[in-house]
Amino acid sequence: MARIRTGRSLRRRRRSSPSDDRMSALPDDLLLLVLRRLDARSALGTALLSTRWARLHRELPVLDFRVGSMLPPRYHRLVLLLDDMDIKGAYLRFKRRCELMPKVRRYERGAMRALSRSVESFLDDEVVRGVRRSVSRLRLEFFINHNPGCMNRLIAKSIDDWGVSDLEAVAKPIYFEDSIHTFPSHGLCHDPRASCLRSLKLVGCALPPLHEFSALTMLVLQDITGSTSKAAYEGVFTMCSQLQVLQLKSCDCRWEDRDLVVDAPSSHIRELVFDKCTLGRVLMRALPNLESLASRDTDAMLQFDQSTSFPSLRQCNHTTSVGLFRTRMGRPREYIGHQRELGSFLGARRT
């Protein structure tokens, strides 16, 4: 018996030829959504497809240059293996560790060279075309090397010419090296007074002069090394009076001057956070607009000047280590207590 064909089986689907470009048939708004999901290097690479793609990537309001996107999966496996050796205290694997570390560093330096070439090509293309770009947010992640000029140039260009309002610079040291990223003598940019920068996050960077950024309202400093003087931190409170949110994470200062004095009557800071910092003693004298104060696992003794009141202070939290315990491998671990009212810890060192 012959099989009767249905109408569905009789319909023929249009076969697309290799020359069809269905992607270009999409509207610009949809293509911009696709580009925003890519990292900056991949998004900029689409400019080679056509003049339309080259025009689209210039309209992206957010740029994200990440060195992590250029590292192969093998690199991450090697890092996990090295970290596992540290946790387990594998002394007998010391030779194996010495063999793996150069490979990890080789991957990191290779990824950094690729990122530098991409950034330099991007900046040179901007100069050749002479088109003024408008960028609202820039996120930059890179490894610290002996030639920071390329990264500093990108940061200065974004602030001076593109009008960036949200900047995040994450400087990561080469594996098992102790280094910090430094900015030029003039700071982040050439004309900070005219900048639109409102939010700034610096990780692993030397503290640049910030007092001329009149629009800056949020500042996050992370992984600042012990070579930083207390005067640099105090200058943030006293000279950046427009700040409203200040977060210090894993920050340290010189051993000989660890008494940090917070005395800024003209400051507009409303939120202050100390997270895993080593600052010795923090003497709170004057922050009249402070509403929220938090300290998490910070090796510092917070003291309020009795002669000064904080009329706007509404929320105080302090989380601290309350003891040690031993793991199965015999290594000490800190026990972190729950959040408590800060008043019960004032004037007492962490135990």
pLDDT in tens, 269-322: 999 999 999 888 899 999 999 999 999 888 878 888 765 668 889 998 888 765
142-182 pLDDT per residue, tens: 999 988 999 999 999 999 999 999 999 999 999 988 899 99
Q: Using the predicted structure, report yes or no on whether residue 3 has a pLDDT greater than 80.
A: no
**261 neighbors 284 (Cβ within 8 angstroms):** no
Whole-number pLDDT of residue 349? 39
Residue type, 105: R
Q: What is the DSSP string of 80-130?
A: HHHHHHHHHT-GGGHHHHHHHHHHHHHHHHHHHHHHHHHHHHHHHHHHHH-
What are the angstrom distances between the C-alpha of 13 and each of 9, 16, 205?
10, 9, 58
Stated pTM of the model? 0.81
Give me the pLDDT at residue 346, please: 42
Q: Output 280 or 70, whichever has higher pLDDT.
A: 70
Confidence class for position 7, pLDDT limits 50, 70, 90: low
Cβ 187 vs Cβ 154: under 8 Å: no
End-to-end CA distance of the chain: 90
Q: What is the pLDDT of residue 348?
A: 40
CB atoms within 10 A of CB 241: 14
**Whole-number Å distance between alpha carbons of 339 and 258:** 25
Mean of per-residue pLDDT scores for the chain: 81
Instruction: Spell 301-316 as b/e; 16+ CB within 10 A means b.
Output: bbebeeeeebeebeeb
Q: What pLDDT does residue 345 have? A: 40
Residue 310 CA to residue 122 CA, distance in Å, equals: 49
> pLDDT tier at 196 (50, 70, 90 boundaries)?
very high
Q: Smallest Cα–Cα separation from 258: which of 273, 275, 272, 278?
A: 278
3-state secondary structure of 246: strand
Instruction: Specify if 268 maps to a domain.
Output: yes
Q: Please tell me the predicted confidence (pLDDT) of residue 31.
A: 73
Paired tokens of 326: 């031993």
Q: Given the DSSP bridges, would you call strands 199-203 and 218-222 parallel, antiparallel or unpaired?
A: parallel
Quickly state the pLDDT bin for 128 (edges 50, 70, 90): low
d(CA 87, CA 80) in angstroms, rounded, equals 11
Residue 206 lies in a domain: yes
Tally of structural domains, the chain: 1
**Amino acid letter, residue 289:** N
Q: Please indicate, yes or no, if residue 134 is contained in any of the structural domains.
A: no
pLDDT band at 133 (very low <50, low <70, confident <90, very high): confident
Does any domain span residue 48? no
Tokens of 152: 């500093």
d(CA 40, CA 109): 19
Higher pLDDT, 302 or 339: 302
Q: What are the distances in angstroms from CA 199 to CA 101, 168, 239?
A: 36, 8, 16
- How many Å apart are CA 122 and CA 150, to the nearest integer? 11
Q: Please give the angle made by the CA atoms of 226, 228 and 233, to the nearest 5 degrees.
A: 120
146 lies in some domain? no
Task: Check pLDDT > 80 for residue 11.
Answer: no
Cβ–Cβ < 8 Å for 262, 287: yes
Which residue range forms the structural domain that includes residue 289? 192-351
Determine the Cα angle at 332 with ends 329 and 338, to 5°.
Answer: 125
pLDDT in tens, 215-225: 999 999 999 98
The whole-number average pLDDT for the span 113-119 is 92
Whether 67 maps to a domain, the answer reads no
- Return the pLDDT at 57: 67
Angle of helix 94-129 relative to helix 73-88, nearest 10 degrees? 140
Asked if residue 230 belongs to a domain, the reply is yes
Q: Is residue 314 part of a domain?
A: yes
